[in-house]
A and B are shown apart, each in its own frame.
Chain A
Amino acid sequence: MNDKQIVDRLTSSFAGAGVDGALHGRLAALAEKQGLLDVSYRTVDSPLGLLLLAATGEGLVRVAFLCEDHDAVLARLASDISPRILRAPRRLDGAAHQLDEYFAGKRRVFNVPLDLRLAHGFRRSVLEHLRRIPYGVTQSYAAVARAAGSPSAIRAAASACSHNPIPLVVPCHRVVRSDGTTGEYLGGPEAKRALLALEAAA
């Protein structure tokens, strides 16, 4: 046996050493226990495509549609919040389950803690107001601007809605143009129309 054969035998002998889901789960659980898991995430299937859910210790911080590019969203979370990010479903199981129920027409109100740290100033006031728009009800951007304390800031209110970091759970899809057309949506206008139809039918 020559040196190369020895090295080949060595590398092939240890090549099969894999990292399974259970071991990854153990790392995530240890990280959570020691307060090192700043952001955990999971994905969930939905009629609008695969959704990314991310949470801090305080609550749900981001919901992202597939068209936003989940990898890019996670990279942004790493720079905006913390790079201590792991795929760890446990913290998000409740939100995932409630989204399933919502899409099945069996849930009207989300009951999960939220972390609004990605929205600042006026945008945050808009999100606080959006949370109070009931299921199946729509409101104009002008009404939202008024409710958030700046009646003339209609475009800023529209921008706050279209940059909502927690769509679906913070229901920016319930805000429509005064002329009745649906307006912008992070998940695309089709997704917004589908959500409005879902809520109108229930």
Chain B
Amino acid sequence: MTVSALMTRARDAALPPFEEIVAEHGPVVMRVCRALLGPADAADAWAETFLSALEAYPKLRPESSIRAWLVTIAHRKAVDQLRGTARRPQPAGDLPEISAADAASAGESSMDDDLRAALDALPAKQRGAVIYRYLADLSYAEVGELLESSATAARRSAADGIANLRKHFSKGVKR
């Protein structure tokens, strides 16, 4: 047996049953899907994310951050889903904005509607950086990669996003 074949075997043996991945990371992926798409489309995106992950799973390198991998897939699903419904094509890597009306019409009673609206009103990079840094708990390096920029840019976008949310609330703006 060749060294690479042995390494492949060792690698395969290190992967836990996919069910463990769903149990451990299902809730964080759901938070991200809800934040990206609103509650109405979150369930579809969640299922699509884990279905794609299941397909690619046997080839995953065990040293990968599974959470970052799943959030990246969710990000792509959200971009696809929003592009599919958007009138204009969006530049790569950007998260198309969703309207507050769409989110509100989904009728999520426990959701903080005001926060939801403020988050959706952020520029795409800032919204992505805030969601991936604070809701998915990714590192700035991972967020940077996801948004096709650098860790520094991701840190700035997240800080700007939080500052904008703060401004929104300190002005007491209500929609």
A interface residues, Cβ below 8 angstroms from B: 1-3, 6-7, 9-11, 13-19, 23-24, 26-27, 30-31, 34, 36-37, 39, 41, 74-75, 77-79, 82-87
Where the two chains meet, the residues of B that have a C-beta atom closer than 8 Å to any C-beta of A are 12-13, 15-19, 22, 26-27, 30-31, 34-35, 42-43, 46-47, 50-51, 54-55, 57-58, 110-112, 115-116, 119, 130, 134-135, 162-163, 165-166, 169-170
State A120–B111 Cα separation when bound (angstroms). Answer: 55
| Residues A17 and B27 in contact in the complex (CB < 8 Å), given A10-B135, A79-B13 | yes
The answer to whether B19 and A87 have CB atoms under 8 Å apart is yes
Q: Are B115 and A27 in contact (CB under 8 A)?
A: no
Give the chain A neighbours of B42 by CB distance below 8 A: 17
**Top 4 closest A-B pairs, CB basis?**
A85-B17, A83-B15, A13-B112, A19-B26
Q: Closest CB-CB distance, B97 to chain A, in whole Å?
A: 17
Known: A6-B162, A19-B22. 5 other contacts (CB 8 A): A2-B166, A3-B163, A10-B119, A17-B31, A34-B51
Contacts of A77 in B (CB 8 A): 17
Which chain B residue has the least Cβ–Cβ distance from A30? B51
Query: Contact at A13–B54, with CB atoms within 8 Å?
Result: no
Q: Which of B22, B27, B46, B111 lies in contact with A13, CB distance below 8 A?
A: B111
Q: Give the residues in chain B near A11, CB-CB below 8 Å.
A: 134-135
- Which of B15, B26, B112 contacts A9, CB < 8 Å? B112
Chain A neighbourhood of B110, CB < 8 A: 16
CB pair B12–A83 under 8 Å, yes or no, is yes
**Least Cβ distance of A142 to chain B in Å?**
37
Contacts of A41 in B (CB 8 A): 19
Alpha-carbon separation in the docked complex, A31 to B47 (Å): 10
> Which one of B13, B22, B51, B163 contacts A36 once the chains associate, using CB atoms below 8 Å?
B51
**Minimum distance in angstroms from A16 CB to a CB of chain B:** 5
Whether A18 pairs with B27 at a CB distance below 8 angstroms is yes
* Minimum Cβ distance to chain B for residue A35 (Å): 10
| Closest chain B residue to A16, Cβ basis | B110
A3, B162: Cα distance in complex, Å: 6
Question: Distance (Å) between the CB of A13 and the closest chain B CB?
Answer: 4
Does B22 contact A24, Cβ atoms closer than 8 Å? yes
B30 and A85: CB pair below 8 A?
no
What residues on A are CB-neighbors of B166 within 8 Å? 1-3, 6
- Cα A3 to Cα B42 in complex, Å, equals 27
Q: In the assembled complex, how far is the CB of residue B110 from the closest CB belonging to chain A, in whole angstroms? A: 5
- Interchain CA distance A71-B30 in the complex, whole Å: 25
> For residue B54, which residues in chain A have a CB less than 8 angstroms away from its CB?
27, 31, 36-37, 84, 86
17 cross-chain CB contacts under 8 A: A1-B170, A3-B163, A6-B165, A14-B135, A15-B31, A18-B30, A19-B26, A19-B30, A26-B43, A26-B47, A30-B51, A36-B54, A78-B16, A83-B12, A83-B16, A83-B58, A86-B22
Q: Shortest CB–CB separation between residue B47 and chain A, in angstroms?
A: 5
When distances are taken between beta carbons in the complex, the residues of chain A under 8 Å from B35 are: 14
Evaluate contact between B18 and A23: CB separation under 8 angstroms. no
Closest residue of B by beta carbon distance from A78: B17
In the bound assembly, the distance between CA atoms of A37 and B18 in angstroms comes to: 10
Q: For B58, list chain A residues within 8 Å (CB).
A: 82-84
A10, B134: Cβ atoms under 8 Å?
Answer: yes
